[in-house]
Amino acid sequence: MDFDERYRVIHSRDRRFDGQFITAVRSTGIYCRPSCPARTPKPSNVTFYETSAAAHEAGYRACKRCLPEAVPGTPAWNLRDDLAGRAMRLIADGCVEREGVVGLASRLGYSSRHLTRVLTEELGAGPLALARAHRAQTARTLLTSTALPMADVAFAAGFTSIRQFNDTIGEVFQLTPTELRARQSRGAAAPGALELALPYREPFDAAGVFAWLAARVIPGVETATADSYSRTLALPGGPAWFGVRDGGGRLSLTAHVSALGDLGALVARVRRLFDLDADPVAVDEALQAAARDAGAGGVAAAVSARPGIRLPGAVDPHEMLFRALIGQQISVAGARTLLGRLAAAAGSEVPTGLLGADSGDGDSRLLLFPTAAQLAERAGEVLTGPRARIATVVDVAERLASGELDLGPGDDAADQHRRLTALRGIGDWTAGYVAMRVLGAPDVLLTGDVALRAGARALGAPDAPRPLADWAAPFAPWRSYLSLHLWRAAATPTTAPVLSKETS
């Protein structure tokens, strides 16, 4: 958007744009979210920034009235596959806290100097400032949502000292941590649990995401109902467990972590899992417009019937790759059975007493999904089915375990596709599905997918791969979301074989 478009947004106080840009006001020295209820400033006093970190670097402080950090994230980081977008996804995952700017730059394939220069030019702040802003956002959430002691909040948010925590909160919010906590009441949490509220933009098809996840739960690792989801997860500091429920306007997250410093990464991964930073109005409007232009009345009706559809992400990139590999050419139920066998045979057991977690099905045995090393050792003897597919799973597990292959949210989409399809047994369907789930790639259409083609046929679209690809071209750059509507049209999530004819 240009200046005039953004100014019209802040004049209308449109909440849909909260988190998409920052409004800084020279006459007051503060920065706000677009929907701030304060009087609209004169255009001559306004500067727009891409991030709150950029506004802070320019000398502005956060508005105490609208708290601009308490908003959904920027949808651009899922849409952009350039260096800035990839860096922001890794910063949100805590890469700077764990590995420093040098480690972040190395993961992205650039020097730290070049990375700093690009981020400063495009976003107005370097990686350290962006990570600092993310720590401040996490700390604000913990201060206003939990009763954690101040020291625990500081280290959970990624600060290395109490002094650094106090200084940053004071600079960003012009409030002490105690004053910021006093501004909002907190609900009671279970002993040892962290209760957080994760905002999102409406409309939000919560039922659709929960149904998708419920159809694919791995026994012992995950549980899901029509309105809840929980699972175990291995994080850098140790095993964790989280549960999510929809609270209307916000997701309610309950988390148990082994190390408080993992909380920021956990929140970022849950947000990706539920696609909470998407702009659903923009997606739906684009799909509707493309459907009208293409004469696709079935798609238009599907979008109207299910507004705010979301693209489920992944909390563990390696796990998602194995899900895709094992799910080739079989039903969702069949893949779930095989994944459950793998988890039971090779996964590590999580002490429920340590995390306070409950498997939810009467079985006290909670499991972590097997690591690549564990799968490399056990997959060959546990998996059944085509030998070529089993060989691919073992080969990929060995490569991941040795570090020869890696996968993460900061990957370049084209490079990730090239690296995966270079391996025997991995074709376009698997690589495309992984891009959708791990990178949140918004413009993937898996024309070889059996269920997707059935859904296209049900909505009056071509069902042969090449004609389907041509027909779907006007829906770019949102063909991943179109795919979700086509899958849903094919059958219910529990029976739809969201799989491919790709040969291994």
Q: pLDDT by residue (tens digit) across 143-180?
A: 988 888 999 999 999 998 999 999 999 988 888 999 98
Half-sphere exposure of residue 400: CA atoms within 13 angstroms, side-chain side: 25
Share of the chain above pLDDT 70, in %: 93
**Residue 139 is assigned to a structural domain of this protein:** yes
Number of structural domains (the chain) is 2
In a domain, 247, yes or no: no
Question: Do both 83 and 167 map to the same domain?
Answer: yes
Does 132 reside within a domain? Answer: yes
Q: Are residues 31 and 125 in the same domain?
A: no
Residue 52 near residue 129 (C-beta atoms within 8 A): no
List the 46-49 sheet strands across, edge first. 46-49, 22-25, 30-32, 61-62
Predicted pLDDT at 186:
55
Q: What is the pLDDT of residue 329?
A: 81
- The CATH number of the domain holding residue 101 is 1.10.10.60
Strands (E), 221-365: 222-225, 228-235, 238-246, 250-257, 349-350
HSE (side-chain half, CA atoms, 13 Å) at 36: 25
Nearest to 89 by CA among 62, 71, 107: 107
439 contacts 420 by C-beta, under 8 angstroms? no
Beta strand pairing status for 61-62 and 30-32?
parallel
Together in a domain, 127 and 161: yes
Q: Do 94 and 14 belong together in one domain?
A: no
Is 385 within a domain? no
Q: What is the pLDDT of residues 459-500, one digit of tens each?
A: 999 999 999 999 999 999 999 999 999 999 996 443 333 444
| Nearest-angstrom CA–CA distance, 235 and 256 | 11
pLDDT score recorded for residue 49:
95
Q: Rounded to whole angstroms, what are the CA distances from 330 to 126, 250, 263, 337?
A: 46, 35, 36, 11
| pLDDT for position 184 | 65
* Whether residue 162 sits in one domain with residue 114: yes
**Which structural domain, as residue segments, surrounds residue 25?**
3-62
In whole angstroms, give the CA distance from residue 438 to residue 127.
22
DSSP state of 261: G
C-alpha distance from residue 187 to each of 190, 200, 247, 250, 252 (Å): 10, 20, 13, 14, 11
**Could you give the residue numbers annotated as active site?**
32, 449
CATH number at residue 35: 3.40.10.10
Q: Is residue 92 part of a domain?
A: yes
**Regions of the chain with pLDDT less than 50:** 188-189, 191, 357, 359-362, 492-504
Assess if residue 171 is contained within a domain.
Answer: yes
In this structure, the number of other CB atoms found within 10 A of the CB of residue 218 comes to 24
Q: What is the DSSP letter of 229?
A: E
